[in-house]
């Protein structure tokens, strides 16, 4: 990036050395800054963001306030064991509670409208009681998941044999949540440099050097990478696989029956009502290799596939028009666990938040504030 040689005024203000510099202003960066400032108001914290608004996953997601569908939890427990799976579910659940307590739910459109999963075979149902038992200590209810087949017709769904309901889940407005977080950051005197891309980071004995342009290096005591899917250049040895999620949003639909947040095909498809519109995303599993990218384009193949899904499953026999199309970039790994750790005495990371970062980020912020203290 070409930046004019800084003046003495800039060097002593905007570009002065900070205690902590956070790279990335998505949910993770913002919650982390808030937790640090709440614990250590005396520390100076600067967030550097390469775009004019946070642009990765946080502003471009589906706005589900969720902590794991039945099939996802079963599959995670098979891959990572129950202990890790329950830790992760617990963290997400607590994260959602924190959002509800921290902000006025109306200010972020937080609504406990219910989370649903559509199943077309009954194998997961055999494990429903076992999963409910495991989750009871987290959700404080005996029946986190229940079979709600009677609602298939009520919601007007096609191609759906079984419906699982989770009344502890809901939806929110991701843009409004980011705005509230930004306001809180300003209140706590967190500083920002937007439109500034970090090119590289190095360390001397006494400080970190953060290169943001040919003529400009910023210094801090500590640096935290909150760059999620865009972290490979800083964290070469970590497994961080970018995963694009494409989304379509319909025009308003008269008498829309759908209400709530829905998962289909182990969470690869996700859809919800947004007022009287339908937001649908996913289907990455239809074109896995192409979607392993940090490019924000949408593809005809997946967009057509999503429209077809909308016709067959969500709005059978109903006309609709697509109003908007966009994509966001997630970060995945072999396991769903995020990477939250020190990289050296001065460098820390909180990346790879996979598909439920809305819920994870508040608790990750707290973990980092402990770590950098």
Residues that bind ligand FAD (CB under 6 A): 23-29, 48-51, 54-58, 60-64, 66, 197-198, 226-230, 245, 247, 281, 328-330, 353, 355-359, 361
Work out how close the CB of 226 gets to ligand FAD at its nearest, in angstroms, rounded to a whole number.
Answer: 5
**Closer of 77 and 280 to ligand FAD (Cβ):** 280
**68: its two tokens:** 């794991």
Report the nearest approach of ligand FAD to the CB of residue 246 (Å): 7
Report in angstroms how near the CB of residue 56 gets to ligand FAD at its nearest: 2
DSSP 8-state class, residue 126: G
Burial of 23: CB neighbours in 10 Å, binned 0-12, 13-18, 19+: buried
Shortest distance, position 148 Cβ to ligand FAD, whole Å? 20
Which residue's CB is nearer to ligand FAD, number 98 or number 127? Answer: 98
Alpha carbons within 13 A on the beta-carbon side of 82: 6
State the nearest-atom distance from the C-beta of 370 to ligand FAD, in Å.
Answer: 18
Give the count of beta carbons closer than 10 Å to the beta carbon of residue 162: 17
Please give the structure tokens belonging to residue 39: 């614990």
Instruction: Report d(CA 260, CA 170) in Å as an integer.
Output: 7
Q: Which is nearer to ligand FAD, 109 or 127 (CB)?
A: 109
Closest to 128 measured CA to CA, from 114, 117, 137: 117
Minimum Å gap between C-beta 170 and ligand FAD is 11
- When the beta carbons of 73 and 330 are compared against ligand FAD, the nearer one is 330
Q: Measured from the CB atom, is 125 or 296 closer to ligand FAD?
A: 296
Which of residues 114 and 355 has its CB atom nearest to ligand FAD in the complex? 355
Is residue 64 within 8 Å of 58, Cβ to Cβ? no
Question: Distance between CA 227 and CA 238 in Å, rounded?
Answer: 13
Q: How far is Cα 366 from Cα 31, in angstroms, rounded to an integer?
A: 8
Closest CA to 356 of 48, 122, 85: 85
In angstroms, the CA 322 to CA 296 distance is 19
């Amino acid at each position: 990036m070409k930046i004019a040689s800084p003046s003495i005024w800039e060097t002593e203000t905007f570009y002065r050395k900070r205690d902590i510099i956070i790279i990335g202003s998505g949910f993770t960066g913002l919650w982390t800054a808030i937790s640090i400032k709440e614990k250590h108001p005396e520390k100076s914290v600067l967030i550097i963001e390469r775009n004019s608004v946070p642009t990765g996953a946080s502003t471009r997601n589906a706005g589900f306030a969720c902590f794991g569908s039945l099939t996802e939890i079963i599959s995670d427990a098979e891959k990572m064991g129950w202990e890790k799976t329950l830790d992760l579910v617990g963290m997400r659940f607590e994260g959602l509670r924190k959002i509800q307590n921290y902000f006025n739910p109306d200010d972020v459109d937080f609504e406990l409208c219910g989370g649903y999963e559509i199943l077309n075979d009954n194998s997961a149902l055999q494990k429903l009681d076992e999963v409910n038992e495991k989750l009871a200590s987290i959700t404080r209810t005996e029946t986190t998941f229940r079979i709600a087949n009677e609602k298939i017709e009520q919601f007007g769904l096609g191609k759906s044999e079984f419906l699982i309901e989770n009344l502890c889940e809901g939806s929110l407005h991701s843009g409004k949540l980011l705005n509230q977080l930004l306001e809180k950051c300003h209140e706590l005197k967190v500083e920002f440099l937007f439109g500034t891309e970090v090119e590289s980071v190095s360390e001397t004995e006494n400080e970190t050097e953060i290169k943001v342009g040919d003529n400009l290096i910023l210094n801090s005591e500590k640096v935290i990478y909150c760059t999620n899917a865009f972290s490979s250049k800083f964290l070469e040895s970590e497994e961080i696989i970018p995963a694009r999620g494409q989304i379509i949003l319909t025009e308003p639909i008269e008498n829309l029956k759908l209400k709530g947040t829905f998962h289909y095909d182990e969470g690869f498809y996700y859809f919800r009502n947004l007022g009287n519109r339908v937001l649908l995303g996913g289907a990455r599993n239809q074109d896995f290799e192409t979607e392993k990218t940090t490019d924000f384009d949408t593809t005809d193949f997946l967009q057509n596939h999503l429209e077809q899904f909308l016709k067959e499953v969500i709005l059978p026999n109903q006309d609709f028009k697509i109003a908007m199309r966009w994509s966001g970039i997630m970060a995945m790994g072999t396991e769903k666990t995020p990477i939250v750790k020190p990289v050296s005495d001065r460098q820390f990371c909180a990346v790879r938040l996979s598909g439920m970062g809305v819920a994870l980020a508040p608790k990750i912020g707290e973990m980092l504030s402990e770590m950098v203290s």
